[in-house]
Structure 1
Amino acid sequence: MGLYKITAIDTCKYEAVYSSFVAFSNWIAEIKGWKSSKSFREKQDLPEFDKALRAAGCAWPTNIDCFVSNEKFEPICIIEFQNANKTSVEKHCNNEFLWGKYTGSTDWGKTIYYNDVRRWLSQEILRVQSGLRLFVVTWSESSEDFILKEIDQVTLPQFPREKNWRLHNQIEENLHNLAVYYRVNKDYALRYAKWISENTSSYNLSYNDGSMEMISHSPKLNVANKTFPKLYYKFKHLEKNNKEKLPIIFLELLGNN
């Protein structure tokens, strides 16, 4: 497998060669900074190349589902599609997955959570560095509903850099509890949101002079200043029973900016 770097629209530079899927997967893990501990969801329609990378331990980095260009073929926005296959379109909430979901317990009693922090970090790097608008379309094969959103900013939780696993786990647990009670018990949700606000830090990204900068926020964190960890939207619209309206609203939104 050869690795090439595109330095211009008509220029490719040879970088390296990898003799196995494991070697190439390890290189991807180096670029990403981690190997996923979350089980991969194998599907029959995945390319064999992707299946081999997943079997080796690290699949492709975050990809772009779709981008839109203008009449001059210049990219103007990125689109992320999300299939609401575990809940209804109307009840699908990106922030609940950002804060964390329960997956189970280990034999030694440790509770395991997963969240979309890494996923949205990757998407935010793409959005900030490219300078392109980022839209999210939530849909379902079993529904005529859709949600169209435009990302304004992604603020992410900042976990302790030192190996303070007790605090790290406490932050994850309270983010998870916020997600659990977000819809069903506002009082409980506010309790955990208050703890997060007063005891944790967050960050967002900025791209200046060719380098990415991490802007940290100390407690108290709050939604008004966009320092509380969550996805913030410029636009959010739920349309029920009318998928045909998606391109109309999308084009209107593009034309208004």
Structure 2
Amino acid sequence: MSGVSTVVITGSGSGIGQATAARYLEEGAAVYGFDRAEAQPHPLPGGPGAWVPVRVDVSDPAGIAEAFETVEADRGGVDVLVTSAAVGFPEPFADMTVASWDRVFGINVTGTMLSIKAVLPGMVARGSGSVVVVSSIAGRTRSVANGAHYTVTKYGLIGLTRHLAAELAGSGVRINCVAPGPTNSPILTAATPQDEIDAIIARTPLRRIAEPEDVANVIAFVADDRRARQLHGAVLDVNGGLY
């Protein structure tokens, strides 16, 4: 993560987002953690980086604009954006409501769109910057823990990444996508009984589900302009061989 100084991570209050915040704090970055939670624990007490929690619902256009204005005022721009905020509900399609559909799309897709739109003007003006969109194995096949709305949003994030990779050609800004498999984080464990998790592990060639840190390390790699400078519009599967 050479040269990275300011990082914004959405969904930083738990799971992959929190682990990614800890990873960047270890490297000494200023990390702005966007989350809906009332309070966020410091992901890495005593780390050399600067931790700035920002309470915001990423699906709220006014709220997300204000949050990024805070970062701009403090730091003058964003080097890396990681969009990991997500929600999902284990609803059968027949029982799905428009309200739950809209909520999942609001956080997972609209929240990602609003966050990327907020950082791109500054990144393009500087001719540098990296965006990492967190999708899911659900965007490759289907969700193992959540409903159709979650699966559709995760497919959409892969499409958004690939479309923006083309639009950003020649700008100096890179955008890539990470698609984690089942991960030991609240979005899986809160909705999935242990026997089902055990069955997933049994189907996974590596015979384990990911820890959030496993995914955070891949995010940090793909965002790095030195180590991953030729990656643009890529989708990296982090799933232990589960397809």
Normalised by the size of structure 2, how large is the TM-score? 0.28
> Where is the strand percentage greater, Structure 1 or Structure 2?
1
**Bigger Rg over Cα:** 1
Normalised by the size of structure 1, how large is the TM-score? 0.27
